Amino acid sequence: MNLILLGPPGAGKGTQAKRLEDKFKIVQLSTGDMLRAAIASGSEVGLKAKSIIDSGGLVSDDIMVQMISERIDEPDCKNGFILDGFPRTVAQAEALDVMLADKGLKIDHVIELKVDESILFDRIRTRIAQTPEAERRSDDNEETLKKRLDVYKEQTAPITPYYAAKGALKTVDGMASIEEVSAQIDAIAAA
């Protein structure tokens, strides 16, 4: 089973991805982790990515898709994978579809965790209030959350119509309890 998890920062994608990994024996593929691993490995794609990043540029869609292509060829992805953080644009979604089709694969489900933004801000305020200052993450603040939400709305949210038009997009209530969200996702995965 090959999945894409969509949703703004704080929607619970990481929590659900970990659970799905354990339940279905599929692998979560984080593009950030893959980039770091490719660079550390010294592979051809890693060297390309390193030179671009070192010069202050953004890694191209071609390189990202090549990196994902190589990663899903690894044995631990034989049961499937979860993409989190990719695709972020319609161009990336289209390139991903072409690459997967070349391998005889497809995305089985695109699952969007819908959330109420005001609740995300409540969550961050609660986390800040309950976490000692020395233990807080550097991005645990309202300003960072607002920026990340703006980027999500501008860059990533536009891919939902792309997947909806293909009949692949399913939406779950990300405001429900973790257990309820899990049950909604499991029902989609079982369909």
Catalytically active residues, by annotation:
13, 88, 127, 137, 148
Cα radius of gyration rounded to whole Å, the chain: 17
**CA 29 to each of CA 77, 143, 175: distance values in angstroms, whole numbers, following the listed order:** 9, 27, 24
Q: Which two tokens stand for residue 33?
A: 């982790």
16 in Cβ contact with 114 (< 8 Å): no
Residue 82, strand partner residues: 3, 28
Whose structure tokens read 């049950």?
183
Q: Which two tokens stand for residue 167?
A: 């009949």
